[in-house]
Chains A and B, each alone.
Chain A
Amino acid sequence: MLGKSKEVKDVAVPVSRPRATGEKTIITKDISIEGKIRGKEDLVIEGTVKGSIQLEGHHLTIGPNGQVEAEVIAENLTISGRLVGNIKALGKVEITKEANFNGEIRAKHLSVEDGAYLKAMIELDPHHKDKAEPTDEPLKQKDYKAKPTYGPLKQKGYGDEAPHDLASVSDKGK
């Protein structure tokens, strides 16, 4: 998926009309569309779209310049721009830290980078449980590694106990 996004970036040139590459259509930043979009290939939006978007079985990418107000149905979505509306994804929704989203999300999987703005109502498929991907930048920085809340305990020499799980900790306080 990331490879595909990179491919789009490589071929994108400033033209003022939607372009179809071999695999996907790109709505570039000078294009505005109002109405209903239905398609059977991947779509990248860097422009402005109002209405509805239906891409069953395909991937919708809203790039950093994309401004979308729409009801969206797609297999997978990547949001890096602004989206106001409701999403129904049969697969995964990825929201990057540049994204600004306001609406409802119904999906099997959701990954959200720290720093994204969300005002959302989220419903995930409870039967599709996957491990959260490490997506946030601060984790990668040497000086700001995520640390367990029990880290200071070990530094102070209180022992080498493993971190407690949330439930057992809460139970202790009852």
Chain B
Amino acid sequence: MESLGEEGKGQILDVGPICGDNIDFFARRVKRLCVCDMFFHLVKGSGSGAPSDQVWQHLDYPPESFEGILLWDLIDRLEDHDAEEVVKRCYSMAKPGGVVMILAHGQQTSPKVVNSFVIIDDFRLYSRPQLHLELPLYMRQNREVMEMLAPFTPITSFIYRNGTREFLFRRF
């Protein structure tokens, strides 16, 4: 939370999947929480066969809007060109000094059903399958994630003992 800005101030964007526990956690700690469930749009888009660039039009926030952007599990659900598009939009939407937080599952992740990261009891991180969301998994190495986020400056990266990976990047 410290990296996402001073508590009680600032604006954070969560791109999904929708998770009530996370919404409650973050909405009470920042001035404004914006939620845009891109997983929903990706699943809907893949069903309709619409070009993927139409999906990203939903991330239509003004430039330099957010102190923090949460990209939890999203990058590994995207093909390279979509992931690059997300990074480009995140860079535009992040305020100078703002951070992007990435969480990615380890190797044991289900290949199709999206497992969302859930904050419970205000400090424990759980994994919860979202059975209504099925998307392909493009598992990326840490190095690939770092390269993909190249417009940002890496602050920290950490691998949990169960393989979950956490990355923090800052826009300077």
Contact = CB atoms under 8 A, between A and B. Distances in A.
Instruction: Give the size range of A's interface with the partner.
Output: 35 or more
A166 B158 CA distance: 12
A123 interface: yes
Interface string A152-174: 11000010000101110110111
B8 interface: yes
Interface string A71-103: 000000000000000000000000000000000
12 contacts: A115-B18, A117-B18, A120-B35, A122-B23, A124-B33, A135-B20, A146-B126, A148-B124, A148-B125, A148-B126, A149-B125, A170-B3
A85 B87 CA distance: 29
Interface string B109-138: 000000011111001111111111000000
Contacts of A137: 131
A121 B32 CA distance: 7
Contacts of B83: none
Interface string B1-43: 1010000100000000111110111011101111111001000
B34 A120 contact: yes
Interface of B: 1, 3, 8, 17-21, 23-25, 27-29, 31-37, 40, 58, 108, 116-120, 123-132, 156-158, 160-164, 166
Contacts of B21: 132
Contacts of A129: 28
Nearest to A130: B24
A12 interface: no
Contacts of A138: 128-131
A170 B127 contact: no
A88 to B, nearest CB: 15
B132 A115 contact: yes
Contacts of A35: none
A150 B108 CA distance: 13
Interface string A97-136: 0000000000000111111111111111010010011011
A170 B158 contact: yes
B161 A166 contact: no
A153 B162 contact: yes
B31 A123 contact: yes
A142 interface: no
Kindly list the 6 A-B residue pairs having the minimum CB-CB distance in the complex, ordered from nearest.
A173-B158, A165-B123, A112-B20, A124-B27, A152-B162, A146-B128
